[in-house]
């Protein structure tokens, strides 16, 4: 064996020994140092992203919740601008060296959310509750994606407060309040039209049938509406009250359609109906209160939108 070979072998053995202790043939910086540098770079990036989100969160919280569709438009536009400002600041951050792939999903989720927020703010300007209802699930999905990506990075301020749940509900509350008020006005008009003057029990039976049909239609319409989560149980209780009134009307229609009905039977029916109507009114008021928002009434002939006051709430 030649001298050169022995030198190479000795060099290899030395390298193996050094490699076992601190690495060999590198820049003198071990893998532990590289990992620490990557971690530090990512931590700095996360801190800056959290700072941008914190500023946005505080601005939105200080303005409070929208009380009606007018508020929803006003506060929604400002909140969207705050979120877009935070999103833009985060997207402009230089990706942390060595962790570019880790932050990429979060940044992508922010870009997608920007587009959804623009759709929402464009829709709030039109005061179209149905369109806002249709957008709420998409917004919720977008927020869930941001939240998942945020958690993976360990962010503490960005989508860390269940925004995917309460933001859609903040939209649904004034939307549902408006829809409930609109439906109530339609029901009142139809009920008034159905309550025609009567001169015979048969006429009364037909009136009761018509009123029952009005409430059945209202029941179906209510079932299609989407209240905020916190008002779901109260809506269920109100629906039970509506169905109880419908049941009393149906029973009364059957009684009045018979050949004869005594005064005592009429009085019994009247007491049942009045009792069920009182319960329905109490449940309606409880539901309206639980929503936490009020309807908006349209100004005459294209006038401004104004928050509805107590005079627009059903008694």
**Each residue's pLDDT tens digit, 282-305:** 999 999 999 999 998 654 333 444
Whole-number pLDDT of residue 300: 37
Q: What is the pLDDT of residues 193-241, one digit of tens each?
A: 888 887 888 888 999 999 999 999 999 999 999 999 999 999 999 999 9
State residue 259's pLDDT score.
64
Closest CA to 201 of 145, 272, 254: 254
Q: Which two tokens stand for residue 182?
A: 């609109």
- Count the neighbouring beta carbons within 10 Å of the beta carbon of residue 137: 11
Which pTM was predicted?
A: 0.76
Evaluate if residue 148 carries a pLDDT over 80. yes
Q: Put residue 162 in one of left, alpha, beta given phi > 0 → left and psi -120 to 50 → alpha.
A: left
Domains assigned to the chain: 35-161 (1.20.120), 174-312 (1.20.120)
pLDDT band of 34, cuts 50, 70, 90: confident
How far apart are alpha carbons 106 and 94 in whole angstroms? 14
Helix spans in the chain (H): 3-21, 31-63, 69-92, 100-124, 129-153, 163-194, 201-224, 232-256, 263-291
């Amino acid at each position: 064996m030649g001298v050169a070979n022995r030198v190479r072998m000795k060099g290899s053995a030395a390298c193996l020994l050094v490699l076992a202790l601190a690495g060999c043939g590198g820049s003198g910086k071990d893998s532990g140092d590289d990992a620490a540098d990557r971690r530090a770079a990512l931590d700095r990036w996360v801190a800056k992203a959290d700072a941008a989100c914190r500023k946005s969160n505080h601005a939105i919280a200080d303005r409070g919740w929208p009380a009606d569709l007018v508020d929803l438009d006003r506060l929604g536009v400002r909140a969207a601008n705050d979120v877009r400002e935070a999103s833009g600041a985060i997207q402009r951050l230089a990706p942390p060296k060595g962790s570019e792939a880790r932050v990429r999903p979060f940044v992508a989720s922010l870009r997608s959310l920007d587009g959804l927020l623009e759709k929402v703010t464009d829709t709030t300007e039109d005061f179209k509750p149905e369109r806002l209802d249709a957008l709420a699930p998409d917004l919720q999905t977008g927020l869930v994606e941001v939240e998942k990506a945020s958690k993976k990075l360990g962010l503490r301020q960005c989508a860390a407060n269940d925004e995917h749940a309460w933001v859609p509900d903040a939209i649904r509350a004034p939307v549902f309040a408006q829809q409930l008020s609109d439906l109530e006005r339609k029901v009142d008009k139809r009920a008034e039209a159905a309550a025609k003057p009567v001169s015979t029990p048969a006429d009364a039976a037909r009136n009761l049938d018509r009123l029952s049909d009005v409430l059945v239609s209202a029941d179906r319409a209510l079932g299609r509406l989407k209240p905020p989560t916190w008002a779901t149980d109260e809506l269920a209780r109100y629906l039970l009250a509506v169905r109880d009134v419908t049941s009393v009307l149906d029973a009364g229609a059957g009684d009045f359609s018979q050949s004869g009905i005594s005064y005592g039977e009429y009085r019994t029916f009247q007491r049942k109906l009045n009792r069920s109507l009182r319960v329905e009114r109490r449940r309606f008021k409880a539901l309206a209160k639980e929503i936490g928002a009020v309807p908006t009434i349209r100004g005459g002939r294209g006038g401004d939108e104004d928050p509805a006051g107590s005079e627009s709430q059903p008694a």
